Structure 1
Amino acid sequence: MKLQYVKLKNFKSYPDQETTVDLSFDGIKLLVGENGDGKSTFFDAIIWAIYGKNKDGVDGVVNRKTKKDCKVEVGFKVGSSSYSIVRYRKHETNGNKLLFFKGTKNISQRTAGATQELIDGIIEIQYNTMISSVVLSSELYTSFLRSSRADRLKTFESILSLKEITLFYNKLKKLKEPIDEKVSKLNLDIDKTFVAIKSLSDNIDEYKDGVKKTLLAFKSEKEALQGEVFQLTSKISEYDSIDVDKEINNNEAYDIIIKRIKEIDELILIDKGKLTDINSLVAQLEDCEEQIDNYQRIDIQKELIQNKEYSDIKAKNEKVNTAIVKLSAGIVLTGHLDKNIKAFQDKIWNLEKEIKNIQEHLDTCPTCGQEVERELTEKLVADKNIVLDDVKVSLKKEKETLENDLIKNKEIDDAIKKLKGMVSEAIEPVHSVEILHAMSGKLKDEKNRSLLLKKDIENAESNNKEIETRLSAYRAEKKINVDNKSEPEYHTMFLKDLREKIVLLKDEAEEKRQNILTIDVKAKSSYDKGYIDNTQVTIKELKKTLTKTDKKLKKATIEKKHYEALLTIFSNKDSGFKKFFINKMVSIFNDRVNFYLPFFFDDDVEVDFDKDLNEVIKINKEEVTFASFSSGQKTRFDIAISFSLFFMVKMFFSSTINLLVFDEILDMNLDKKGFNSVYEIIENLGDFNTVFVVSHQEFYKEKFNHHIHIKRNSKGFSYIYNEV
């Protein structure tokens, strides 16, 4: 697959206008810009368009500002055929469609899933291969040496395109499942049949022994029931000595008296609550009359006149102060004029100094010190004299402005002093107008309250007298009821339980008599000859079924072993195809990694991966662990492995992949040597590949002849600022 271009519109930070990046060139391009400007977005778009995967979720691809019409198109070639993938999200016309074209012909399938399968089959490069060895993003990339053994194997499987073997393995597993179920079911059926035959045979023997035991048990049970009937009859006679109905009637009469006593207590409590606290009312009346005396000691009318005079003086002073504030607003600040005059004076001094210097050296360039024609320096003197005259005119204007502002400020200060002499002293009254009006209202309210309290006291005395009369009557009735009540001998619940218990005992006694009759009937029919004969026939039929089932089991077991052998061949085990291919690949991988390591390390560093992709690292022939490396050394090691994986992809896909991307990978812990090593390798790769280096480091421009500068405009949209 040779990528040709990527076009994006309303994808992440890019706007509604279509942005295109060429992917068909051979060489190296630097994508540079500030963090968040949208450099990596082009390669996120390629991954999303081809695989439909995005680290920010399904709707994370849509521009947050436009919120719709997201579209990405990726063009590529496979052999001589041209293809293009167009993927939409929240598009007003195409919704969330996935379209696939061969040339101009739409070869999309009926569903997006089927179209994705068609794309995967044509490009042949799996997603994991793409992000681990082609588009190396600092966000998506996972260090090979820091990943698990299982993840390493997945990376190799994806590069080798062993997907079909995995699919066939999974298909075999599904085909084997019904065979496993059949074998399990047949084994279970045989076990069940054995158990059934043994159980029925044991049942016949147990049945005969059981009949004998049953007859003896029936005899014991009958004797026990007869004893229980005698005990129940004795209890019933004992309970019948109490006249339950009479005792319950006596209890109900007692309950009525108790209920009435409680009602009287509640009525007494309610009436006591209705009694009025006359002492409280008298205390409130005394407090009210005291408040009236306090308010009448203040001359409210006199203080209202004093408040009016105070307000007039205060209003006059406020007008004067307002006039002072308005005049103060007219004062001009002159600090900036002083600064400007100083700046102009400094500029005049510098210009005069420059002119003098040039006039003293008319045959020499004032900037570089080389000899120049006198005509050029004379023209430079003339130009600087023009500038000097302009600055002098500006200085004169600033001085005139400063002088005028100072005269104006003096006039304003004189006017303010005159106004301050017109301010009068105002003595604030003891009480405000609002408080005085409130006092007048409260005095009236307290007088009305005094009249109401006197009326309440009169009514309370009359009401309390009526209540005391009722309370005396309640107390007399309660005494009569207390004297007449008689405590019952038995509790009502006990009597009701006793009545129910007598009925239950009679029912139980009758039930046990019926059980005795049933035992007599069962004893007569305890041996069943027909049961014995039928059971023996059933045992014979089960033995025939057992023979047939055993033949089926042998046949199914042979079929199961065939599937197990095939599964072993297509599994991840050492004897499988996958391990065979990976073992061959590991040797090439080791050679390629060890080819790149000297570019990054001065010491003799080598690595050897075994067939399970477990590594042994040596420095100067001494074995070390990956964890012992510094962060920068680990990054160098990771990049060497990434180059090796890219080489493997090129090798196993017949060099059809033309793209290699380092998305801020070079910004991670690389020193100058590490960067130069990477640059030397990708410079060679750029002869036959499209290589992109993505970085926010501006100084990288010095290294790369071709670069694309990405920026964000004031509205927050990304765009290609320039391409060199």
Structure 2
Amino acid sequence: MIEFEKIRWKNFLSTGNNFTELALNGHATTLVIGENGSGKSTFLDALTYGLFSKPFRKINKNQIINSVNNKACLVEIEFKIGSKNYLIRRGIKPTVFEIYVDGELINQDSKAKDYQEKLEKQILKLTFKSFTQIILLGSSSFLPFMKLPAAHRREVIEDLLDIQIFSIMNQILKERYSENKTNISDNNQILNLNLEKIDVQRKYIQEVKEINSDKVVDIRKLIETTNQEMSDIDLKVMALQAEVKSLSENIKDRDNLVSERSKLQQIKISIESMIGKIGSDINFFVNNTNCPVCKQDIEEDHRVEILHNRESVKDSKENGLRELNDHLEDLSVKLAA
């Protein structure tokens, strides 16, 4: 889990040459309030720019740097993941992009694009799209999950559950399938060429028969050789067709398993959410004897009946969740085979 500790910026948008700094780890929850134009949105823009090289709002890159100073634009973000402390420094005029882990600068030999990819995939494990869909939700630009394009929804879910490997595996299988289709097409062309050769040979034999009967024996040997080649080719074609059929079935079965597991994981999230809600209800009726709406006392019999009902529903959901987890584990074993 990412724990943001501190962010500071200068010469960023409308801020001047002195650092504006916010401490985000002073309390369990940090509330940022202020009048219009006081810099609340600038804080969000600085956060996403520091992490992903693009502001939260739709702002051109040449508008990011302060138009008065027009230099020394810099954003620094400190955060913690597990036991490691990170510092990200990103700026314009001069261009700056540095990643520090526990005070040590990560090797910058790679290109900026590869350096950014290392930050997103190995450290944050989030892309800009996922970050603004899961962590940073703005009322002006937030798009509900179900309204996202299918590819973006898949990307968000894969980042959230850390299951990008299945998309990679699916792409590899598609490439192999495409390669096999190409091989089959090439072999069919070879087969057609050989069939044409056979046809030519047969015509040639007929012509030779009409011209010289003495060459019949030699021509028959040639026919036998050609027929053997045809038989060998037919066997190869049959073997290739069987292999293609087997590969197609394996790909289809795997796609079905991946789809089923994705759906079951969504159901699992929904069940866990319901169990959490029911648990909250049980805790309320265990610890409270007054109605939260009308402030009147809840009759003991009614309270006991509600608790019994909630606990029964919770037990049922938890049993279903255990069965669902077992089924998901079976699917994972099948996919790993």
The answer to whether the Cα contact below 8 Å between 2:50 and 2:90 also exists between their aligned partners in 1 is yes
Whether 1:174 and 2:169 are equivalent positions in the alignment is: no
- State the Cα distance separating 1:136 from its structure 2 match: 0.4
Determine the C-alpha separation between the residues in 1 that align with 2:31 and 2:102. Answer: 28
Residue in 1 that maps onto 2:265:
584
Deviation at 1:580, TM superposition (A): 0.8
* Cα distance between partner residues in 2 of 1:64 and 1:552: 71
- The answer for the alignment partner of 1:717 in structure 2 is none
Task: Tell me whether 1:26 sits opposite 2:28 in the alignment.
Answer: yes
- Cα distance in 2 for partners of 1:198, 1:163 equals 53
Give the structure 1 partner of residue 292 of structure 2.
none
Higher RCO, 1 or 2 (CA under 8 Å, sep at least 6)?
A: 1
Partner of 2:99: 100
Q: How far apart, in 2, do the equivalents of 1:585 and 1:70 lie?
A: 43
TM-score normalized by the length of structure 1? 0.33
Mapping of residues 314-713 of structure 1, within 5 Å = 542-557=226-241, 560=244, 563-564=247-248, 567-568=251-252, 571=255, 575-577=256-258, 579-589=260-270, 592=273
Distance 1:6 1:162, change over 3 A: same
Pair member with larger Rg: 1
What is aligned with 2:65? 62
Cα distance change on mapping 1:30 and 1:139 into 2, 3 Å: same
Q: State the Cα deviation string for residues 392-443 of structure 1 (Å, max 9, x = none).
A: xxxxxxxxxxxxxxxxxxxxxxxxxxxxxxxxxxxxxxxxxxxxxxxxxxxx
Structure 1 residues without counterparts, runs of 5 or longer: 212-526, 597-724
**Superposition pairs for residues 73-222 of structure 1, below 5 Å?**
73-89=76-92, 91-92=93-94, 95=95, 97-111=96-110, 112-119=112-119, 120-147=121-148, 151-202=152-203
2:173 maps to a residue whose letter is L
Cα distance, 1:593 vs structure 2: 8.2
Separation (CA, whole Å) in 1 of partners of 2:63 and 2:252:
42
Aligned equivalent of 1:230 = none
Matched to 2:116, the amino acid is Q
Q: 1:194 to 1:123 in 2, by over 3 A?
A: same
- Aligned residue for 2:49? 48
Output the amino acid matched with 2:12. F
Residues 10, 63 of structure 1: 8 Å contact kept: yes
CA deviation after TM superposition for structure 1 residue 79, in Å:
1.1
8 Å contact kept, 1:7–1:18: yes
Letter in 1 for 2:265: K
Q: In 1, Cα distance between the equivalents of 2:51 and 2:163?
A: 20
Count of aligned pairs between the two proteins: 271
Deviations 1:222-241 (A, max 9, x none): xxxxxxxxxxxxxxxxxxxx
Identity %: 19
Distance 1:536 1:557, change over 3 A: same
Provide the secondary structure at the position in 2 that maps to 1:201. Answer: helix
CA 1:123–1:542 in 2, change beyond 3 Å: closer, same or farther?
farther
TM-superposed deviation, 1:6: 1.9
- Tell me, in whole angstroms, the C-alpha distance in 2 between the residues paired with 1:67 and 1:567: 56
Give the C-alpha shift of residue 564 in structure 1: 4.1
2-side partners of 1:41 and 1:568: how far apart?
Answer: 49
Q: Deviations over 1:248-273 (max 9, x none)?
A: xxxxxxxxxxxxxxxxxxxxxxxxxx
Contact 2:24 2:30 in 1 (8 A): no
RMSD of Structure 2 on Structure 1 (CA):
4.0
Say if 1:99 and 1:108, in contact at 8 Å, map to a contact too.
no
Q: CA deviation at 1:104?
A: 1.2
| Cα deviations by residue, 1:140-179 (Å, 9 ceiling, x for unpaired) | 4112344456654443333212212212222333344433
Cα distance in structure 2, aligned partners of 1:534 and 1:74:
86
- Whether the 8 Å CA contact 1:71–1:87 is kept in 2: the answer is yes
CA separation in 2, counterparts of 1:49 and 1:557? 54
- TM-score by length of structure 2 reads 0.64
- Alpha carbons of structure 1 residues 17 and 28: separation in structure 2 relative to 1, 3 Å: closer
* 1:499-532 superposed Cα distances (whole Å, 9 cap, x missing partner): xxxxxxxxxxxxxxxxxxxxxxxxxxxx899xx9
Determine the C-alpha separation between the residues in 2 that align with 1:34 and 1:586: 42
SS at match of 1:14: coil
In the alignment, structure 2 segments of 5+ residues that lack a partner are: 278-337
Whether contact under 8 Å (1:76, 1:83) holds in the other structure is: yes
Write the distance in 2 (CA, Å) between the matches of 1:165 and 1:178. Answer: 20
